[in-house]
Amino acid sequence: MFSLICLPDRCARTRIAKTLPIGVAVAATASGLFVAAYSEQLPAMVDGQGFTPAGKAMNFIGGLFFMAAGACLVLRYQRRGNKNDLLFANQCLLFGVAGLLFAYSTLWDAAWWYWHLLRMLAYFVVLGYAFLLYYRLQEGLRGSEVRNRALLDAIPDLIFRFHLDGTLLDFQAHETSPAHRMPSQGIIGTNIYESPMPREVVDQIMAASRQAAETKATRNIEFSLPRDSELRQYEARIVSSGPDELVAIVRNITERKKAEEELRALTSRLISAREEETKHLARELHDVFSQRLAVLGMETAAVEQQFGCSDPACCQTLHKVGEEIGSLARDVHQLSRELHPSILDDLGLAAALRAECAAFSRQHNIAVQFEPNHVPESLPGPASLSLYRIVQESLRNIGKHAGATAVRVTLDGTDGALVLGVEDNGCGFALDQIKGKRGVGLVSMEERIRLVDGSISIRTQPGMGTTVEARIPLGRSEQ
């Protein structure tokens, strides 16, 4: 006991603290077996005149160990303020004083009775403390049950606890839920395979449950159930709660799905309106401003030819004006093409992407390789425009941030889908560092591809370049 209590705090989390109690227990057991086997060969503890010197010495030494242990516990209480240390210090001191009294007692005298009383008092102290801990534990459990019940009542979702074979063990329903009025006796103990839910939904739930039990990770699934002549959408979060037991939290997400659909429709209308506006603006720039700049350039060249020979300075000025007009016309044409490429409507997606890659390569002096493969000649306008905008935004990001020297753009129309890939050898970035900080360009790409029932993924690592991949399913006529 003294060695356990006096163990330094720095050793409390080492192997010593784990092995020392085992060693003490083994030594105590061996000593007890030795005493039982060789009791006749050991010194006598009591003789006809009372306690022998050997008996008094053993109790005296034990009392000193208890006193030392009590002193250590008092010092530990002063450092930590833990009341358990003070309780066990009192117990050790009681046992220690009892051992010292035993050393100076004779059989049936007052000191001998005091020794018994102190030992009994120490036992009662421990027993009283055990009852106190039990009472506090019961109070804590009752308080925890009340808090947990309040939390469960505050959750508007359905909560099920069930066995891995589908047997329902318990459930919790909010008072506003129709399931709250159902008797628990008629639900608990039934199997999910016996429920009125469609079999495909049951199979989906049980498959996710098996995965949650195997991986110990939360599984999220969504399913639909008909109710009141309406198809309701639900989300279930399934987590393992014990050996072959799981907990599922089921939430009605019908309204959320409706809101998402409305938001998606609004986003589609906004993007369509924006594209129509940019298309109109691009046409105005190309048909009006580009033509007027072309006419102005031709008139400037005519004036230069008419008056240039008589005045060299005027000829040089007119030549510079003509060059500025030509540069301005190219800028207007570039702006018109960025707003809405007419080549996309006239020649198709592949030709538009090839022109965009060539223009980007000339502007940024970066080698761009474009590889089309089995691209359908006829594609829906929204799909073509979405993929074109994704390439446009990806190339813009490469020119601004990537520091790349080579870019590869692929467009593959095999396997029932149109797959677009934009890969660069630039600096890359950490995806987890831009979570919540995505720019308008990335959000716009995600929204555009979602509107045509496609998907988009970004693979990148610092120093390893970036790959953007977008996939759009093709209809049978398009294939």
Pick from 218, 236, 252: which residue ends a domain? 252
Examine the domain organization and report whether 172 and 130 are in the same domain. Answer: no
Q: What per-residue confidence (pLDDT) applies to 394?
A: 87
Range in 226-240, 266-280, 343-357, 428-442 the model is least confident about: 428-442
Return the higher-pLDDT residue of 87 and 178: 87
Examine the domain organization and report whether 77 and 101 are in the same domain. Answer: yes
pLDDT value at 68 more than 50: yes
Examine the domain organization and report whether 223 and 294 are in the same domain. Answer: no
Residue-number span of the structural domain to which 161 is assigned: 155-252
Structure tokens given for 27: 């030594």
Residue 294 resides in a domain: yes
Return the higher-pLDDT residue of 26 and 13: 26
User: With contact defined as beta carbons under 8 Å apart, do 238 and 219 qualify?
Assistant: yes
Count Cβ atoms within 10 A of the Cβ of residue 163 and give its class: 0-12 exposed, 13-18 middle, 19 or more buried: middle
Residue 77 resides in a domain: yes
User: Tens of pLDDT along 331-348?
Assistant: 777 777 677 677 777 788
DSSP readout, 110-163? HHHHHHHHHHHHHHHHHHHHHHHHHHHHHHHHHHHHHHHHHHHHH--SEEEEEE
Residue 6 resides in a domain: no
Confidence class for position 307, pLDDT limits 50, 70, 90: low
Instruction: Name 469's Cβ contacts closer than 8 Å, sequence gap at least 6.
Output: 419, 420, 421, 422, 456, 457, 458, 459
Examine the domain organization and report whether 354 and 412 are in the same domain. Answer: yes
Examine the domain organization and report whether 73 and 111 are in the same domain. Answer: yes
User: Tens of pLDDT along 109-155?
Assistant: 666 667 677 777 777 777 777 777 778 888 888 888 788 777 767 77
Residue 2 resides in a domain: no
DSSP classification of residue 287: I
Examine the domain organization and report whether 132 and 161 are in the same domain. Answer: no
Sheet containing strand 230-242, edge to edge, reads: 168-172, 158-163, 245-252, 230-242, 219-227
Mean residue pLDDT of the chain comes to: 76
User: In the chain, how many domains are there?
Assistant: 4
The dihedral over CA atoms of 384, 389, 391, 393, expressed in degrees to the nearest 10, equals: -170
Q: What per-residue confidence (pLDDT) applies to 302?
A: 73
* pLDDT, average across residues 222-229: 82
pLDDT value at 409 more than 50: yes
pLDDT value at 12 more than 60: no
Return the higher-pLDDT residue of 246 and 432: 246
**What percent of the chain is helix, strand and coil (3-state, nearest 5)?**
60, 15, 20
Q: What per-residue confidence (pLDDT) applies to 40?
A: 67
* pLDDT, average across residues 10-17: 56
Sign of CA dihedral 108, 113, 119, 125: positive
Pick from 340, 367, 383: which residue ends a domain? 340
Pick from 322, 340, 358: which residue ends a domain? 340
Structure tokens given for 214: 């195997």
pLDDT value at 3 more than 50: no
* pLDDT, average across residues 276-299: 72
pLDDT value at 194 more than 50: yes
CATH number of 373's domain: 3.30.565.10
pTM: 0.51
